[in-house]
Structure 1
Amino acid sequence: MTKFSELDLSPAILRAVKRMGFEEASPIQAATIPLSMEGRDIIGQAQTGTGKTAAFGIPLIEKIDHRNHHIQGMIIAPTRELAIQVSEELYRIGQDSHVRVLAVYGGQDIQRQIRALKSRPQIIVGTPGRILDHINRGILKLDKVHTLVLDEADEMLNMGFIDDIEAILSNVPEDRQTLLFSATMPDPIRKIAERFMRNPELVRVKAKEMTVPLIEQYYIKAQEREKFDVLSRLLDVQSPDLAIVFGRTKRRVDELANALNVRGYLAEGIHGDLSQAKRLSVLKKFKEGKIDVLVATDVAARGLDISGVTHVYNYDIPQDPESYVHRIGRTGRAGREGMAITFVTPREMGYLRTVEQTTRKRMTPMRPPTWDEAFEGQQRLSMERIGDTIKEGNIDEYLAVAKELLEAYDPVQVTAAALKLMTKEPDKTPVHITEERPLPHKKDHNRRGKPSSSYNKGRKPRRTTTNRKPY
């Protein structure tokens, strides 16, 4: 393996990479970084999860001229989620280099973005539609761009963004360096490479296999609006000792934590906006069992070392297999078994298949529990607690009153009353969860049909009230 220290990188980059916990470069990083530093155009054929953001991000940041306050680098990504993810990783890589990175994408206030563009960012990460919108408004000037990256080009093709990409490329200097990354190489992507790239070097890397042998993996197919009720019923049926729920965005984490508390669970969330002190406080409470459910984003959960987690719930399926493996790796630690359950909307099944191919393990479909099953699960939990209390002893002070009860009432009725007092009945209190846009349509190769040519450009998330009957 190649170490980052062998790649002739600046001290600032090496410090940032070390702080991020990386010592050895992944195959695509080891192959791409030296070529990119030489100014070569590159076609990288690699799955998400192979480390390609750092593969193009490190050489891009190395080439930024800090005295030049114009936009010098641009990354085009298919979705706002990926644009945010890429910009956050570039920020971490370039933190010691003082490089200014800005993400622009649909669904965010455009006036806010216009104000941010006036602060002279040096790297722009954005979705095709919003980038083109800023270009057409005359706000985004790309005449000083020396490096352009097309990330997940095949997804942008599937979403119908090819015309937008070509329009953006026509606004960038012809003598730029171009890097194109794509999991597959369909003909339209090859044509873009032929038209807009100069003798590109092909770097082809397979995603590393990642195994999770001790973790039972299930998936539940559910519509976005149904997921929270399904999660509530699962928690009631399974009664996990410690559980982590993963959400895709900070807003999602905040809303899920609030909604779980409304429904009677002890839950708190962690994400990148929390102070370090608050984050450590939440983790301490979770480790001590003072909260039952931790809700987290991928970024916040990286590197968490928590023992005793029995269940992981992927409320939103992650976009790349590496994040999936990091998530479910929070359970099944130290040789213990764990359980991971992933919620998948019908149009996200392609992402499930990609995860299965990478982990080489099929997930088992799970039927969502009904409210009656959730109620029965809570009753059985109460019964187990009574049994455990009897085994532990120390109940002598209660025996006299217990005998009086049994003389006055039927023993079965006494037991039923005790169970009723102890049992948390399933709570159907309405909660508000903002619907997130699903991941871009990825073709599920196990099914017939073609991916859609475009996807809901400009659609804003809706709020929905979750208070639905069992399926």
Structure 2
Amino acid sequence: MEHFQLTEKTILKIKESNITKWTSVQEKAIPAILEGKDVVVQSPTGTGKTLAYVLPLLKLIDENEENPQVVIMAPTRELVMQIFQVVQDYTQNTNIKVASIVGGADVKRQVEKLKQKPKIIVGSPGRISQLIKLKKLKMHGVKKIVFDEVDELIKTDDQKDLPQIVKATLKDRQLLFFSATITPQAMQFAKEQSTNLTEITVDQSLEGNIMHGFIPCEEREKLELLRRIGSIQNMKALVFSNDPFKLEGYASKLNFRGIKTAVLHSKLGKMERSKVLKDLQSGKTSLLFSTDVAARGIDLQDLPYVVTLDVPEKVEQYTHRSGRVGRMGNQGTVINLVTPREKKHLFTLRGTQKLFFEQLSVTHGEVRKVEMSEKVEDKVSIENNKKLPTNKSPKNNVKKIKKQK
């Protein structure tokens, strides 16, 4: 494993974290960043993008300089705090201080943080811009700016502040744009900020050990399928819907039928949001319902399942949903509940994603892969809450998926 001339303390921390191999995005991005290049990096969720920019930036920091040198921006408080924690972990036993600056927090406390002379600022663009205007955050020493989840940053209410933040820094600054999906709009924004971009793209086939599957059904059958999925022993799944109003109804009905569910709202407070995520990881909750916006930036380690109630409209949404499992090479399964029309749309995504979709079923308390020697009718029969029948045709057999840990 090449160490790219990173600092000795960083290399030691890498070894302590049992990292023995770089992911593709790290292998490509770290050398480019160390060379001082402006980069726009597209890599699937869960492939180690944060370390791909944090590690080389630590190498480039002057520990004798007291002013902030690096600003990292993210679209959500959740993601800001995740990045902040990673930076803190890798700056232990160094003279590099880091501060988190987010909206909704007390401004005076954040000003006090800045008085401690942090070299790295991790925050939301709105609050960073506010502190710059108040002349509490000095940007003349900032040489590196990271736009994490840049495609979402340019959609936030704070997007108008982004160019102003860049202009407040030195002209020889280095700009790093990262996301799981670099949309045309995100690329245009990046080109407006930098005239000499190096593009780095990691294959959208995803690096994780993920099975992408579908269960054909009618719309009215999805609730029963969810009940069966939620009844599986040790089930932990993040359930996505395009319709936020559908989440509460499904969760309420499943709770009434004994399935432990919760809903992740984008408007949940910090403590409430933390609790629902902890309940899912601890097993107190089996199914956590969420929209794409609410789930953006969350990092659930070893999550075995993602379920989609509705096929996302865009391939970018599918990338972010499926990226909740299979993080850093772990095993995971994506279950798409699809009507005949939705199935056609789902299959249009696979060309872009380079994915293969397996047909699945839920039988005898297990998610199973249906293996067919010839085409069978893609329909699940669910009547009166009866269990799905086991296929007994000699031409069909149902293979049990290896249990997720």
Shorter chain as denominator, the TM-score bin is 0.5 to 0.7
Partner of 1:375: none
Write out per-residue CA displacement over residues 412-435 of structure 1, whole angstroms, 9 at most, x where no aligned residue: xxxxxxxxxxxxxxxxxxxxxxxx
Find out whether 1:154 has 2:151 as its counterpart: yes
Partner of 1:319: 296
TM-score normalised to the size of structure 1?
0.54
Larger Rg, first or second structure (1 or 2)? 1
Structure 1 residue 175 displacement after superposition: 0.7
TM-score normalised to the size of structure 2?
0.62
CA distance in structure 1 between the partners assigned to 2:71 and 2:194 by the alignment = 15
Find out whether 1:219 has 2:239 as its counterpart: yes
CA distance in structure 1 between the partners assigned to 2:17 and 2:263 by the alignment = 23
State which of 75, 86, 92 in structure 2 corresponds to 1:89.
Answer: 86
Find out whether 1:12 has 2:12 as its counterpart: no
Find out whether 1:364 has 2:337 as its counterpart: yes
Partner of 2:170: 173
Alignment of 1:397-412 (within 5 A): none
Q: Please tell me whether the aligned partners of residues 315 and 343 of structure 1 are also in contact (alpha carbons under 8 angstroms).
A: no
Shift in alpha-carbon separation, 1:253–1:203, aligned structure 2, 3 A: closer
Find out whether 1:252 has 2:272 as its counterpart: yes
Structure 1 residue 143 displacement after superposition: 0.4
Which residue identity lines up with residue 123 of structure 1 in the other structure?
I
Which residue identity lines up with residue 313 of structure 1 in the other structure?
L
Write out per-residue CA displacement over residues 288-347 of structure 1, whole angstroms, 9 at most, x where no aligned residue: xxxxxxx26xxxx5xx9xxxx6973325563259x45x3433xxxxxxxxx777899x99
Structure 1 residue 237 displacement after superposition: 3.0
Partner of 1:373: none
Shift in alpha-carbon separation, 1:150–1:233, aligned structure 2, 3 A: same
Which residue identity lines up with residue 210 of structure 2 in the other structure?
T
Partner of 2:73: 76
Identity %: 25
Structure 1 residue 251 displacement after superposition: 1.1
Write out per-residue CA displacement over residues 433-462 of structure 1, whole angstroms, 9 at most, x where no aligned residue: xxxxxxxxxxx9x9xxxxxxxxxxxxxxxx
CA distance in structure 1 between the partners assigned to 2:133 and 2:36 by the alignment = 29
Partner of 2:18: 21
Q: Please tell me whether the aligned partners of residues 307 and 334 of structure 2 are also in contact (alpha carbons under 8 angstroms).
A: no
- Equivalent residue of 1:211, what SS? strand
Partner of 2:360: none
Structure 1 residue 140 displacement after superposition: 0.7
State which of 286, 297, 303 in structure 2 corresponds to 1:328.
Answer: 303
- Equivalent residue of 2:82, what SS? helix
Write out per-residue CA displacement over residues 339-391 of structure 1, whole angstroms, 9 at most, x where no aligned residue: 777899x99998567324887744338xxxxxxxxxxxxxxxxxxxxxxxxxx
Q: Please tell me whether the aligned partners of residues 319 and 351 of structure 1 are also in contact (alpha carbons under 8 angstroms).
A: no
Partner of 1:59: 56
- Equivalent residue of 2:46, what SS? coil
Which residue identity lines up with residue 143 of structure 2 in the other structure?
H
Alignment of 1:123-162 (within 5 A): 123-162=120-159
Partner of 2:43: 46
Partner of 1:391: none
- Equivalent residue of 2:176, what SS? strand
Structure 1 residue 49 displacement after superposition: 2.2
Structure 1 residue 8 displacement after superposition: 2.5
Q: Please tell me whether the aligned partners of residues 240 and 321 of structure 2 are also in contact (alpha carbons under 8 angstroms).
A: no
Shift in alpha-carbon separation, 1:315–1:110, aligned structure 2, 3 A: farther
Q: Is the strand fraction higher in 1 or 2?
A: 2
Q: Please tell me whether the aligned partners of residues 80 and 100 of structure 2 are also in contact (alpha carbons under 8 angstroms).
A: yes
CA distance in structure 2 between the partners assigned to 1:146 and 1:68 by the alignment = 12
Alignment of 1:297-308 (within 5 A): none
Q: Please tell me whether the aligned partners of residues 106 and 130 of structure 1 are also in contact (alpha carbons under 8 angstroms).
A: yes
Q: Is the helix fraction higher in 1 or 2?
A: 1
- Equivalent residue of 1:125, what SS? strand
Which residue identity lines up with residue 328 of structure 1 in the other structure?
L
Structure 1 residue 65 displacement after superposition: 1.8
Shift in alpha-carbon separation, 1:21–1:233, aligned structure 2, 3 A: farther
Which residue identity lines up with residue 337 of structure 2 in the other structure?
T
Which residue identity lines up with residue 296 of structure 2 in the other structure?
Q
Shift in alpha-carbon separation, 1:105–1:200, aligned structure 2, 3 A: same
Structure 1 residue 225 displacement after superposition: 11
Structure 1 residue 6 displacement after superposition: 3.5
CA distance in structure 2 between the partners assigned to 1:112 and 1:343 by the alignment = 42
What's the Cα RMSD here?
A: 4.2
CA distance in structure 2 between the partners assigned to 1:226 and 1:86 by the alignment = 29
Alignment of 1:227-376 (within 5 A): 227=248, 234=254, 237-238=257-258, 251-252=271-272, 295=279, 312-314=286-288, 316=290, 318-319=295-296, 323=299, 326-329=301-304, 351=317, 354-356=320-322, 361-364=334-337
Segments of 5+ residues of structure 2 without an aligned counterpart are 214-227, 230-236, 326-331, 339-345, 349-405
CA distance in structure 1 between the partners assigned to 2:272 and 2:314 by the alignment = 18
